[in-house]
Structure formats: structure tokens, C-alpha cells
Amino acid sequence: MEKILSDKKAIFLFVFPAFLVFLVIVLLPIFFSFYYSLLKWDGFSKGVFIGLQNYKNLFINNTDGFIISVKNSFILAILSVFIQLPISLLLALILSRGIKGEKFYRTVYFIPVILSTVVIGQLWMKIYNPNYGLLNFILTKIGLQSLTNQWLGNTKTALMAVFVPILWQYIGYHMLLMYASAKSIPTDIYEAAKIDGATESQIAFRITIPLMKPILKVCVIFAVIGSFKAFDLIYVLTNGGPLHASEVPSTLMYTTIFTKYQYGYGSAMAIFIILESLIGTLIIQKLFGKDVAY
């Protein structure tokens, strides 16, 4: 085995197929998107080279709500990091301590992750329905009828109404990653801590969470990047409306390319999402520093 790993030809033979797939599926589409972003092109006729004019239109001559969509994606990223991940961490810590019904709860919390996004979207559309929706029904029954609303049709509530299902859907995903990390920590460490008189909260904050730093970094990256490129559930629920209230760059890019037929302008949005995600990943890795080994 060591002889194979030291053979550069063998390494190339094993790595090249994966690199070829990565090149065709990832790098080439990014390259073509960047090229298209330099054109004024409707997807059918011959494109006209306009340089960085599309990028200028995004940030300087913004007339289509792009800045609003970027702000919304950052709000979703903040909510994901400071609401979704803490809930996932709490559930992971509780389940990893070996509570009764651990396997059952682990499966139940993960169910939303494996459900179709369209199914989830339809489910929450029924919950938010202003006429027969569960949310307005409960508010009415408990005497809070004044709080009932057209949740997806009101510019003041559409943003949070769309983000709640997104946060709910992926809590189980992050919980499972954190749960696996917590369960992989050697039990000897916990036994030594208990002998020294450490409480459960001290064990969690001074042993478990610090040793989970590598997977916590991964979860933060997934949450932030997922927020930047969120599309499907928002598209199903509101398609970015009303009046761009729940718009994010991905939904705006889709509308720009496939409804307005502005392929060059939409490609500029795609490149922005890629750069935004890349820069976000680098910043998070920098903030977390080196991983802790155990």
C-alpha cells in the first residue's frame, strides 16, 4: 500500500478521473458563467461584449432588487448560525448522552431533511393559509385573532414566514452531524471529568463542545453557504415576492435568466453567489483557526 501511495503515476491514475468530473461539472460551468456575465445576451441571439457593465448594474445601477436580495440572504445566514445551529447543538448534546428513545428521536428529527422540498413548501403553504391555515387557526383559538395575517402575502411578514421552514428543515441535518461528532469523543474523557466532580453543563461547555470544533466549523460553513444559495423552498413558497420582500440572489437570478431572458445579467448574479460563498467559507475557516485533535 505504501509503495502505491509513493508512486506518482498511481496517484495520478486514481486522482485524474475525479479531477476530470470536477472540471466538467464545476469548473467549466463557472468559467462559462463568467464569460456570459461579460455579455449582453438574451440566450438566443449573438451576445454583445459589454465588459463589467453587468456587475456595475448589480451594485451601482441597481433597479431590480438585487441589493435587497443580498440583504435577505445575509439575514438568513445570521438566523441559521445563531438560531438553527444552537438548536441543533442542544438536541445533539441531549441525544448523545444516551437518553431513552435516542434512536427514535434521532430519526424523527432527521425526517424533514429527507422530505421533498416541494412537499415541505406545500405543507407550510397550508399552515400559512390566511383562510384555513393552522397558524391563523391557533392564533384565533387562543384569543390572538389580531395577530392573524396573510403571512406569505404581506411584505412585512413574508421574509420570516419563508425563513422559518428553511430553518426547520435543516435542524435535523446539523443535529445529526453534531451528534455523530459528540458520540465519537472517547468516553474515558467523560469518566475522568466526572471523577473530578464536573457537572453535566461543565462537561458540555468545557469538553464536548470544544472537541466538536471541527464539525461545528463544517456546520457553520454549510449553514452560511446554504443561506447564500437558498432557492428551492423560497421559490415554491413565494418566488421571491411580494415586491422582492423574500427575494434572495438565487431566485432573482432564476427570474432574470428564465423569465426576462437576460442571460448575461443573470450570469453576473451567479458569479456573485459563487464569490460570496467562497469568501464566506474562507472567513469562517479563518475565524475558527486550527482544528483540535483528540
Q: What is the pLDDT of residues 267-277, one digit of tens each?
A: 999 999 999 99
Confidence of residue 292 (pLDDT cuts 50, 70, 90): low
Angle at 122 between CA 126 and CA 179, to 5 degrees: 105
Residue type, 75: I
What domains sit in the chain, N to C, each tagged with a CATH number? 41-288 (1.10.3720.10)
In the predicted structure, residue 135 carries a pLDDT above the cut 90: yes
Q: Which residue has the higher pLDDT, 5 or 13?
A: 13
Question: Which letter does DSSP use for residue 40 in this model?
Answer: E
- pLDDT recorded at residue 282: 94
**pLDDT at residue 125, rounded to an integer:** 94
**65-86 pLDDT per residue, tens:** 899 999 999 999 999 999 999 9
**Residue 273's pLDDT is what?**
95
Residue 188, pLDDT > 70, answer yes
**pLDDT tens digits for range 205-251:** 899 999 999 999 999 999 999 999 999 999 999 998 888 899 999 99
Q: Please give the pLDDT value at position 101.
A: 87
Residue 2 has pLDDT above 70, yes or no: no
- Per-residue pLDDT band for 108 (boundaries 50, 70, 90) equals very high
d(CA 164, CA 161): 6
User: Which phi and psi (to 5°) does residue 46 adopt?
Assistant: -70, 130
pLDDT class of 60 with cuts at 50, 70, 90: confident
Report the percent of the chain where pLDDT is more than 90: 67
Question: Cell for 174?
Answer: 446539523
Q: What is the mean pLDDT of residues 86-94?
A: 94
pLDDT class for 294, splitting at 50, 70, 90?
A: very low
CB proximity list for 77: less than 8 A, separation 6 or greater = 223, 224, 227, 228, 280
Count of C-beta atoms within a 10 Å radius of residue 182: 21
Whole-model pTM: value is 0.89
In this predicted structure, what is the pLDDT of residue 1? 53
Helix (H) or strand (E) holding 39, with range, is strand 39-40
Mean pLDDT confidence for 192-204: 87
Q: For residue 8, what pLDDT is reported?
A: 76
Distances (CA, A) of 290 to 10, 82, 178, 210, 278: 31, 22, 18, 12, 19
Quick one: average pLDDT of 53-69?
Answer: 86
Say how many CA atoms lie within 13 Å of 67 toward its Cβ: 8
* Number of alpha carbons in the 13 Å side-chain half-sphere of residue 249: 29
The amino acid that residue 292 corresponds to is: V
Q: Which residues contact 110 (CB under 8 A, 6 or more apart)?
A: 172, 173, 175, 176
Which residue in 75, 105, 74, 73 sits closest to 90, CA to CA? Answer: 105
- The chain-wide mean pLDDT, for the chain, equals 90
